[in-house]
Amino acid sequence: MQTSMELDIWLLYGERGSGKTSLCLQLARHPAFANAQAPAGRRSGHSAGGALCPGIFDASGEKQGCVLLDCRQAGSLRYNNSHPDCSSLPLLGSRQKNLAGPRWRVWSFDAAVFSLGNQAILESLHHPDELTIIDEIGPLETELQQGFQPAFLAVLQAARTAGSALRLHHLDAAAITDPPAELTNSNTASEIAKPKTVLISVRPDLLDRLVTILTKP
């Protein structure tokens, strides 16, 4: 999350199905970042921007694809039985269809839809008081230099520009206890592989508490 005075980068990690995308979606829909209840000092308009990639699952729970959700539209997303309705969203990746774009193992992606996602992320970076979300950074970006790599590089450049104004937090699953733990400030590189980064461990049973911690003023 970026402001005119400081820059925080929250790096979420966890096993497949741990709830990383669900956490990002909850943050994007949270009143702290919603247009109608934007805190004083935030720009007029949506306060959460970027790109989310909700999954498409078959009856057995196996992931078969993913769609692109502009975070500015997260508040209007409809739900079916507590699950987001992604039927109207553009298909970003698929295990079944050839989308004529980048490929990674059994996955095929749509380059045009990735362009829309990069555009949404870069637009968000123009507003330094906005929460910017990038979902699904993986081998497509780090090894093939495709996907969300252009927007990801822009975020890294913003972090380098922020310099000492960028704050380090480290929150892992073991730190979330009763009473709820706070984000721990640190200034030493030895405490984390890459200093000035936010490292957050995600588990399905911690989502509500993580949302509470990350949306505190």
* pLDDT for res 195: 36
Mean pLDDT across 59-69: 93
Token pair recorded at residue 33: 């970042």
Taking CA atoms, 155 is separated from 34, 50, 151, in Å, by 22, 11, 6
Q: What are phi and psi of 199, to 5 degrees?
A: -110, 115
Q: How confident is the model at residue 193 (pLDDT cuts 50, 70, 90)?
A: very low
7-214 fold: Rossmann fold (3.40.50)
Question: Which of 182, 180, 160 shows the shortest CA–CA distance to 169?
Answer: 182
Lowest-pLDDT range, 24-33, 111-120, 144-153, 204-213?
204-213
In this predicted structure, the answer to whether residue 115 has a pLDDT above a threshold of 70 is yes
Of residues 133 and 4, more confidence is placed in 133
CA distance 58 to 90: 18
Identify the burial level of 100 via C-beta atoms within 10 angstroms of its C-beta, where 0-12 means exposed, 13-18 middle and 19 or more buried: exposed
Token pair recorded at residue 22: 């669900």
Based on its alpha-carbon atoms, the radius of gyration of the chain, rounded to whole angstroms, reads 17
Domain extents for the chain? 7-214
In this predicted structure, the answer to whether residue 75 has a pLDDT above a threshold of 90 is no
In this predicted structure, the answer to whether residue 197 has a pLDDT above a threshold of 60 is no
Q: What is the pLDDT of residues 148-188, one digit of tens each?
A: 999 988 887 776 665 555 444 444 444 444 433 333 443 33
In this predicted structure, the answer to whether residue 39 has a pLDDT above a threshold of 90 is no
Q: Look-up: residue for tokens 């498409």?
A: 56
- Count other C-beta atoms under 10 Å from residue 175's C-beta: 15
Q: Which of 36-50, 67-81, 105-119, 181-195 has the highest mean pLDDT?
A: 105-119
Mean pLDDT across 65-94: 89
In this structure, what is the dihedral angle of CA atoms 37, 168, 186, 194, given to the nearest 10 degrees?
160
* pLDDT for res 178: 41
Rounded to two decimals, the pTM is 0.78
* pLDDT for res 184: 41
**Do strands 131-134 and 48-52 pair parallel, antiparallel, or not at all (unpaired)?**
parallel
